[in-house]
């Protein structure tokens, strides 16, 4: 009985953990199967907007006050969301880089990635559909 209870506790912990993970996704037809941490940072911080095969990427993001945006960008960069917002303000002002296209919610992002061959975005792991492919995971 104790062993069964321990097993169930571990199982539910693993499921809860999986629901908190954030994954980077691309369209299911995209030839990219994996992205490195550096590639993810470069794409979402506007430093390099291409997939490993050289094709241009269209990055999708969430509104500035979104919790998933704060969690994701802080996790990949190690910076606070205030530092990230300040970075984007400087970069936008300089005109050197265009920021990712902004969407209001996860379902809209999933739909856009599913219908855009060169799209890259991030979503909670438990929301992934068959129309997208996971290329990077951030375990929370």
Degrees (nearest 5) of the Cα angle 49, 52, 57?
A: 30
pLDDT of residue 25: 99
Q: How far is CA 4 from CA 12, 14, 86, in A?
A: 12, 15, 50
Mean model confidence pLDDT for the chain = 86
Domains defined along the chain, listed by start: 21-138 (3.40.190.10)
Residues 122/80, Cβ–Cβ less than 8 Å: no
- Could you read off the pLDDT of 86-134 as tens digits, one per residue? 888 888 777 777 789 999 999 999 999 999 999 999 999 999 999 999 9
């Amino acid at each position: 009985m104790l062993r069964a209870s321990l097993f169930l506790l571990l199982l539910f912990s693993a499921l809860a953990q999986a629901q908190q993970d954030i994954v980077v996704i691309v369209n299911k037809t995209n030839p990219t199967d994996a992205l490195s941490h550096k590639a993810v940072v470069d794409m979402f911080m506007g430093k390099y907007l291409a997939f490993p095969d050289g094709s241009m990427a269209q990055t999708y993001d969430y509104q500035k006050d979104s919790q998933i945006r704060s969690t994701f960008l802080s996790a990949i960069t190690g910076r606070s969301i205030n530092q990230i917002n300040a970075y984007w303000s400087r970069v936008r002002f300089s005109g050197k880089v265009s920021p990712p296209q902004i969407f209001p919610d996860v379902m809209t992002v999933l739909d856009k990635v599913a219908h855009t061959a060169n799209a890259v975005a991030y979503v909670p792991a438990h929301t992934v559909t068959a129309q997208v492919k996971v290329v990077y995971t951030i375990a929370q």
